[in-house]
Structure 1
Amino acid sequence: MWGYLIDSVYLYLTMLRLTLITSLCLCLTMASAVNLDSLWGVWNDKSQPDTNRLKAIHNIAGNIMFSDPDSACNLAIIEYKLAKEKGFKKYMVTALNLQGVAFSIMGNNHKALDLFNKRLVIEKEEGNEDGMASAYGNMVNIYQQQGNHTKAIEYLSKSLEISERLNNKKGTAINLSNLGIIYQDQGEAVKAMENYKRSLKLDEQLGNAMGVAGTLINMGLVYELLDSNQKAQNNFKLAKKIFEKLGNKSGIANCLGSIGNNYNYQGELKTALDYYQQSLQLNLETGKKISIIKSYICIGSIFKKQGNYYKSIYYVEKALTLAHEVGVASEIKFASNLLYNIYKKAAQPAKALEMHELYIEMRDSINSMENKEAIIKLEYQYKYEKEQVLAEAKHQEQMALSAEREKRQQLIAYSAGGGLVMVLAFAFFILNRLQVTRRQKKVIEEQKQKVEEQKQKVEEQKKDITDSIQYAENIQRALLPTIENLKDALPDGFLLFQPKDIVSGDFYWMQQHNDKVYFAACDCTGHGVPGAFMSMIGSSLLDEAVVEKGITKPNEIFFEVRKGFINALKQTGEAGQQKDGMDATLIAWDKNNKLQYAVANNPILLIRKGELLETKPDRQPVGYHTEEQKPFTHHEVKLEKGDTVYLFSDGYPDQFGGPKDKKFMMKNFKKLLLSIQDKTMNEQKTILETTLAEWKGDTEQVDDILVIGVRF
């Protein structure tokens, strides 16, 4: 059963990712901030150029694709009719593509395949190889879902060959991901992970958040195959946050289903069922039939394990009926096998036999040896073709060098034959010296070329690393609360956030839950890339403690997050093991102006009527500290009007600078805060920034800097 859970989610996710990238991103850049009203205005204004109107209706269809695929399809049909009438083949192609995506989302794969084939015909007529590769890629997913792996591999081979030949990173990333899926489907976990990692790197370089999220889930599923459940959970939750930022319900549903699978695998059936039901609700809202099938089967599997055969049969029969309707062989296989086991348990042998026969039929058609042979053929055919091209180029080069040598030898022979012995001897001497000089020059040039190649390689590696880190910054910032959300929850406040490097180990966090506002300033172990990874884990664990587990007191939230860090990082207290975690201040503020808080290694400062009130922190991090994990202290205070609270990391007071190049120090930081209490919060932020810049001067920033100020 577990094999089904994995297959069901990753096959769906890949279809989502591929159709979005190859279809929507082919002709528009998706953005949540698109003003649909203005696009409708352009479309309805018939005085506008036809190309502007076509772009507008295409963007409208693309932006509602996952929320209302039926309407998106109707708009794409209108786009196609106008494009055909005006002879714009470019927009005919994009319209056919959008229709194919819409039908695929709605579960009509036969219609989607027909539309992608029509698109392919036009792309071939126009000689557009990029478009051909994209069309082949879309068809790969359809065939994969139908269980026709041979066709899927054939079209994947065509798409991959074109993408790599044209140096199309976007297309190559998609095809590598699909190759990973095929390997994963055949149980080749290591090869699948290799292809996913290559795909993820390209998506990060391209800034493709949707592709990153999709690949994170696929990698999470491989981690499950390798029994690395914590890594899998981390991947799923990171992907879920990205999909939430993008407003993609299908992606969120996918992540919920994946998390449910993980809990199911670990035997936590009640939690798994809750995630499956959340996923089903979102799938029903989007109307994605294939995803609905998977949700039904997953829910049915839980009821089977709980011994509730009536409910189990109810859900899995719904899945089987819908799978027959859509015509997806893999889902029919899984549903029939599950029903076979349920009927057998429920003492209904006739129905059990019927389902077993259906399962065998589907299994044999999908898992034939022909599929694995085709994969091997694809891999070796592709490598062989590349080697042949390289060998031919080398052969041509050798032929050219040989011809050049023959010409030179003939020239020397003819010259020597017409001269005197003395001239011949002199010519031989000159020729010999010339050859020595050339050899020396060649050696120098080769060495110079090697140095240049090494330099270029180092520069390319540096650029790749920098590009990856810069995209990691985008992912990290996507997980942070937006300034708008902070202003909405804490209207009279400021945020001063200056990472030392591109990415940061300091992070700020905020959630509004059950009439309370929770906000925190956190300083994770390290800065730069290691610190950023820690911050992502910390942010996810805080979300999980408050939103999913419903913990309300800050000290208890810290205790739960500490357990999460210890589990995620496998901290046992062994000698030499890093005690990673975070120093943090966490506040819970309710409408009655009651402030609850906990402080771990970092203090909290409250200034009331010109007097500074400091709460000393617990001298332990949120993470592994000692074998005896002490609880965190609960603090509570009733706020008065005008009270100002400051949360911060140690970056500001620890910054070196000034005339003697010393630390700014905590006492000077406190004096500075007291001196600016007559200022607005925006003015306070400006003063803090200016003071820091003047103090630092030309001195390098030593740590991430984070200060949050809130006036109540």
Structure 2
Amino acid sequence: MKNLLYILFFLLPIFGFTQTFTPNEQLKIDSFITNTQNITTHDTTKIRNYLELTSIYYLRHPDSAIYFCEKAKIIAEKINDQDGLINSYGWLGYLTQQMGNIKGALEYTHKSLKLIENSDKTREIAILLNNIGYIYSEQGEFKEAISYFNKGLKAQFKINDTSGIATSYNNLGLIFDKQRHTQKALEYYKKSLVLRKQINDKKGIARCMSNIGSIYRKQGNLDTALTYYQKSLAIDNETFNKPGQTVNYFQIALIHLKKDEIADALLNAEKSFAIANELKFPDEISMSSKLLSEIYEKQGRGKEALKMFKLHIAMRDSIHNESTQKATAQQQAKYEYEKQKVLDDAEYEKLITIEQEAKAKQKIITYSITGSLGLVVVFLIFVFNRLQITRKQKAVIEIQKTVVEKAHSELEEKNKEITDSITYAKRIQNAILPSTKTVKEYLPNNFILYLPKDIIAGDFYWMEAVSFIANEEQPVPKSRKVKQSANNEKITSSESFHSQNRNDVILFAAADCTGHGVPGAMVSVVCNNALNRAVREYGLTIPAEILNKTRELVIQEFEKSNEDVKDGMDISLCSLKLSESYAMLQYAGANNPLWVIRNRELIEHKGDKQPIGKVDNPQPFTTHTLDLQQGDTFYIFTDGFADQFGGQKGKKFMYKP
């Protein structure tokens, strides 16, 4: 028995199903089925999905493949989808042939060829010709089969279709094999195998090896034949090709029987018969049942041998009965007649169409001229009317324009006055900020990122340097009060401590006041003043004490109003003490943290969860003390940077990635 490669141009990659398919392939099957059940899916998409499901099921579940293909055919006929009809007819031709319905196979395949033969789809036409040749070869009509195979081969060479040429070589090899020209058959099989290996067509390689094995078996070279069959079976098992499996199990069983290896012959014959029954392939059922009959007879199992022989006869008669062969000839004649009739009808319709087109053109010209003149008249009326309306509208627009320009001029003047005032306020606000020179003097390795949202802002940075002078009295400006600290050291202002023997304390902060723009700037003045008073008037240098006093001063200022003002600020405040032997940083915060980078690690010190301002149940602020190490970097900041909106989704930047 031989395996003729009956291929279809619309075959898609073989996907998996049930336990033999990979999870990825199963997902694709589920996707196809979901698409076909979705009422919103377009009909052409449903046709494509049903055909893809057909290509998956046809080897292992031909009944299901026929069901899906019929679904595709019904939709294609309903919407007159030519590609869908070509593919579904071709598939049904293949599937019905495999199920033993030769008449149906010829009918469907000729329908597919009839639709496509006048197109430029040379490859598809070649494959359909090849498929028709296959059907004739299965009926023993070798002359017709060779004719169709050669027609297909000619088309395949025209488009350099390596896969198609390999298929045609294999099919011609089968014809010569059936005619007992074994050496010529072997030549064509080997030509096909070379091309299959070039394009790495595993299934094609398997079929060629199986056919070559059959030639060697007939020539009596059983060991070489068995080697080819086993190689072919290995590929079929790898690709889950059940039709190939049943063929190779049959051939291997036949060789074992010839070598009188009954047990091995029975094992492989039963496997071939089981798969053939599962696929409902009549050829393979006939051959494998006949082989099992011979094996059972050798084993003395007469009843089982007779049962298998009867099944073989029934399948053989189904395939080769006289009515089937007549159907082939009748279908061929019907196709040739319909083909000629279509040509004659097409010529007549062409003449009728030319005459009708000439009359239609004359009518179109007449109607076009009349319609054009009518449109010109309508257009002139419309233009005259629009000119009248436009004149009236223009007069109204001129009056409105004058009013708007006057209002705009007044608005620009007011806006300029407001902007000038705010710009001048910015100069005042900048004056209360520490100068760049002062900051660099006390904190040389620093940077300040200060980008107000508006011209003036509620955020500000603050700095004050004080010096503790031991065992020495020096004059202090009258404008500065002097306080005594707990260790009897004097705290003096930053203007005079450079010339003194002192231990410097550098106070600096980043503050965020309530509000933005003008309101925020006004609050910042109150809060900045409160910080200065806490240090300069009350002599405080410990951050928590400074914040406590600042809160008290801010509340005092706002309580002068008759309204309940709860404005204030969030702040990070640091005190830095430096000497030749140590560096100590103290920190206190109102909602805002301190970040320290040490050895490439971020250490966060969180402030107290309360602002500088009027709150319910206020608590004293907490001072955090840190002994700094060489290479430490510390940062204080407001929420301005973290609250910036941006990015593709327009979200806040935030503190964490």
Q: TM-score, normalised by structure 2?
A: 0.50
Say which one has the larger Rg. Answer: 2
Query: Larger relative CO (CA 8 A, sep 6+): 1 or 2?
Result: 1
Name the structure with the higher helix share.
1
Given the two structures, how large is their TM-score scaled by the length of structure 1?
A: 0.46
